Amino acid sequence: MSDVMKQVVQEILHGNKTVISKPVQEKSSSKPTSNNVLKNINRPNYQQKKKNHRLKVKENVHKPAAVLKNTPTKQRTNNRKELNEKSISKLNSITLAEGNLPKRNNNYIHQNQRYNAKSRLIGKTKNGGFVWFYPELSMDLIQSFQRPLDRVAVGVIQMPNSLPSYLLLVNEVIRQNQDIKFHVMWDSEANSTFTAELYDEDVGRLERIMNDLYQKLNRNSMKRYETYTAISPSSWLSRQLKASPSVEAIAFLEGISYYNNIILVDQLLEKFAANEFQFYIHKNYILFEGNYHIVSKLIGELKKLAAHHFSAM
């Protein structure tokens, strides 16, 4: 029995289970342990990457907040208030545009409906003048007027004499209602009748205007003579009266015959210098133009002379 076997037997007999043998090389020395193997593996750290990603997201999210933090609270409030006002303003604009149609559109809608009033003679003045109103006419009848416009009401004035005061009435209507179209026929020497045609898409407005014109014409027709003054007359009125285009004021006395007008001007020149104003004698009126204060004084004096002249007749 070999020495090794003897030693083993002795150990067993003596109760010592430890077996001493020649040192044997452990397998672990030839192969790396599992821990060493794991250490050498280059495994990506997903948790670290996720953490870095979350930090970047938070950083980007908090950047605008840092800007807002530096903005004063009052300024942010004003910005929000301004934004709300702009939004409300836009909303109001939309509401108004839809709820309140422009006047012309309302007129157009109304014009498509049948107007209750019919064509009629509004009245006859004391001196033989006429005022008519045509709320709705076919295109065949519209052709009978000087300006055959579609979808309009027509009002007509016709007076037996051509007087400049009629021009003043028409000029005032057009000045206050610039979308109304018109056509006037008159003669400065009163050799023909005075005729004015007014055209308006607003039927109700034109009816009111024609009624008002009739009242004024009828009142003036009861007067034997009358004076009128216009400050800064329109270019249209100046052309009709053949006055200077840049005149400060015009005035006229109408209702007196041509030769009686000569008498009145002759008496007027005794009180006013001829170079202070311009005058034009016509068949049934006298026209003055010049400085407003001078024209106002001489037309007032002229009215007194006319009253004295007619009282002596």
Instruction: Tell whether 204 and 269 lie within a shared domain.
Output: no
For position 190, what pLDDT does the model report?
A: 76
For residue 177, tell me if it sits in a domain.
Answer: yes
Instruction: Tell whether 71 and 141 lie within a shared domain.
Output: no
Number of domains forming the structure of the chain: 3
Q: What is the pLDDT of residues 214-226, one digit of tens each?
A: 999 999 998 888 9
CA distances (Å), 116 to each of 104, 110, 111, 207, 214, in order? 19, 11, 11, 12, 21
Structural domain boundaries, residue 284: 228-311
Which two structure tokens, joined as six digits, stand for 249?
A: 């004021």
Instruction: Tell whether 72 and 130 lie within a shared domain.
Output: no
Which two structure tokens, joined as six digits, stand for 180?
A: 């109304």
For position 102, what pLDDT does the model report?
A: 37
Q: Among 192, 223, 254, identify where a domain stops.
A: 223
Instruction: Tell whether 161 and 211 lie within a shared domain.
Output: yes
Q: Among 195, 223, 251, identify where a domain stops.
A: 223
Instruction: Tell whether 305 and 240 lie within a shared domain.
Output: yes
Q: What is the pLDDT of residues 19-75, one digit of tens each?
A: 444 444 444 444 445 455 445 555 566 566 666 656 555 555 444 444 444 445 445
For residue 239, tell me if it sits in a domain.
Answer: yes
Which two structure tokens, joined as six digits, stand for 166?
A: 């009629």
Beta bridge partners of 198: 155, 182
The Cα–Cα gap between 139 and 148 comes to: 8
Given a cut of 50, whether residue 111 has pLDDT beyond it is no
Q: Provide the Cα torsion 102, 106, 108, 109; round to 10°.
A: 140
Instruction: Tell whether 208 and 235 lie within a shared domain.
Output: no
The Cα–Cα gap between 176 and 196 comes to: 17
Instruction: Tell whether 120 and 96 lie within a shared domain.
Output: no
Q: Provide the Cα torsion 240, 243, 244, 248; round to 10°.
A: -110
pTM above 0.85, yes or no: no
Please report how many Cα atoms fall inside a 13 Å half-sphere around the Cα of residue 311, on the Cβ side.
6
Instruction: Tell whether 210 and 236 lie within a shared domain.
Output: no
Binning pLDDT at 50, 70 and 90, where does residue 185 land?
very high
Residue 235, sorted as left (phi over 0), alpha (psi -120 to 50) or beta, turns out to be alpha
For residue 244, tell me if it sits in a domain.
Answer: yes
Instruction: Tell whether 137 and 70 lie within a shared domain.
Output: no
Mean pLDDT of 14-21: 50
**Lowest-pLDDT range of 38-42, 84-88, 154-158, 207-211:** 84-88
Instruction: Tell whether 81 and 169 lie within a shared domain.
Output: no
Q: Provide the Cα torsion 257, 260, 266, 269; round to 10°.
A: -50
For residue 192, tell me if it sits in a domain.
Answer: yes
Instruction: Tell whether 131 and 87 lie within a shared domain.
Output: no
Residue 122 main-chain phi, psi, to 5 deg: -70, -40
DSSP state, residue 274: G
Task: Give CA angle at 149 (148, 155), nearest 5°.
Answer: 80
Residues comprising the chain, all counted? 313
For position 8, what pLDDT does the model report?
A: 62
For residue 105, tell me if it sits in a domain.
Answer: no
**Residue 159 and residue 125 in contact, taking contact as beta carbons nearer than 8 Å:** yes
CATH assignment of the domain containing 252 = 3.30.70
The three-state secondary structure class of 154 is strand
For residue 28, tell me if it sits in a domain.
Answer: no
Helices 203-221 & 164-176 angle (0-180, nearest 10):
150
